[in-house]
Structure 1
Amino acid sequence: MAQQGYPPIHGHGYPSAQPVQGGYPSAQPVQGAYPPAVPVYVQSGPVAPSQWQAGLCEWYKDFGLCIVTCCCPCITFGQTAEIIDNGITSCASAAAICFLIQAVAGCGCLYTCGFRSKLRAKFGLPESPCNDCCTHWCCSCCAFVQEYRELKLRGFDPSKGYQASAPQQAMVQQVPMQQYMQK
């Protein structure tokens, strides 16, 4: 049932979805959602396929990062994992888990390749040059540098952490609870 002044609502408080030409919807404000003064951004559907902006063997383009990654690969991995996981996994916990799995079992790639898969899904990247686990097994340092550089080229700064590095266009506007409680 629609209240006076508001459009009919379907589902979970949002107007029904409109088809998008081209098959790849973009994040746009939903008009008529409750409360009407607060823009709500909804993104659905698959991510448009794209290409890697950083090559797997382009470690020489950031020599400082290459040195850090060769000496302490868990640091580079932890920084990228925090960004890839939208701050859910902290840099320290991802680095520690990677280090422990590698030190105890010698197969840290089984943990780290999952984050490469998340990165590819996030940006619609191809599984290249081979599957994610093989890439991390054979060339883990190169893969860590590539993933770090990919995030940098897309506007993130893994060295700053998730909260400080998210590009402005990727951030969703947060609305304080007091606005909802005011009459």
Structure 2
Amino acid sequence: MNSSLPNDDKEKAPQSAPTVSAAAPSSSDSDSSKGEARTNSQYVDGAPLQQGVVPVWATGLFECFDDIPTCLITAFAPCVTFGQIAEMVDRGQNSWGVYVLLHAGILYFTGCGCLLSAYYRVKMSNLYKLPADPLINILVHLICEPCALCQEYRELQARGFNMQLGVGWRGQSPEIQQTGGFMVAPKVPGGMNKQI
């Protein structure tokens, strides 16, 4: 707004674009309902504050039937799905077969293979900044391990991993091996150019 207008004219002048203010926020700028104050030294008047993106899983826990083959494999042999997930989370330190044998052995001797797969869910949640409440992740595996394994499998697929049986970490594309499945912004060829 133009500062040369008298006070009465400022109220009648039409508002154009939001203005940028570099002043420190006053106590009236705080959001008293949430109890938080703006800490940026520069913000746009009239525009809402940007909230951080809340991390979420690519698919829901009970969307198992979106991928019937994985659902069937996981229902009858959860150690196979776990082996594929663990190989990707560990970046190919061991082949999926080693993880299959480890999970199957723990499952056979103790009946608690879900604890190992819950550990990898927590590890995956921390790695990809997904909801990482360890207690919830452990309970999900204790209550419904097949659903949790299917969700993790679909999450890795959504991140670009080729999860077909036998492909493994070494069979992934170079982009996936470099980024590790982290979502990166696409590169624009030539950047932004202003043409007149």
Task: Return the TM-score normalized by structure 2.
Answer: 0.59
Structure 1: unaligned runs, 5 residues or longer: 1-47, 173-183
CA deviation after TM superposition for structure 1 residue 140, in Å: 0.5
What is the number of equivalent residue pairs in this alignment? Answer: 125
- Rounded Cα–Cα distance in structure 1 between residues aligned with 2:147 and 2:118: 13
Q: Does 1:51 align with 2:56?
A: yes
Q: Which has the higher contact order (CA 8 A, sep 6+)?
A: 1
- Rounded Cα–Cα distance in structure 1 between residues aligned with 2:109 and 2:60: 30
CA deviation after TM superposition for structure 1 residue 105, in Å: 0.5
Aligned residue in 1 for 2:140 = 135
CA deviation after TM superposition for structure 1 residue 138, in Å: 0.7
Q: Classify 1:131/1:112 alpha carbon distance in 2 versus 1 (closer, same or farther; 3 Å).
A: same
Question: What is the root-mean-square deviation of aligned Cα atoms in Å?
Answer: 2.1
Q: Does 1:98 align with 2:110?
A: no
CA deviation after TM superposition for structure 1 residue 72, in Å: 0.9
The superposition leaves residues 122-177 of structure 1 with CA deviations (integer Å, 9 ceiling, x where unpaired) of 110003796221111111000110000000001012322111225616517xxxxx
Task: Return the TM-score normalized by structure 1.
Answer: 0.63
Match of 1:161 among 138, 163, 168: 168
Amino acid at match of 2:139: C
Matched residues, percent identical?
A: 35
- Rounded Cα–Cα distance in structure 2 between residues aligned with 1:130 and 1:63: 28
Q: Does 1:111 align with 2:123?
A: no
- Rounded Cα–Cα distance in structure 2 between residues aligned with 1:154 and 1:148: 10
Contact kept, 8 Å, 2:126 with 2:132, in 1: the verdict is no
Q: Does 1:62 align with 2:75?
A: no
Q: Classify 1:167/1:121 alpha carbon distance in 2 versus 1 (closer, same or farther; 3 Å).
A: farther
Q: Classify 1:142/1:167 alpha carbon distance in 2 versus 1 (closer, same or farther; 3 Å).
A: farther
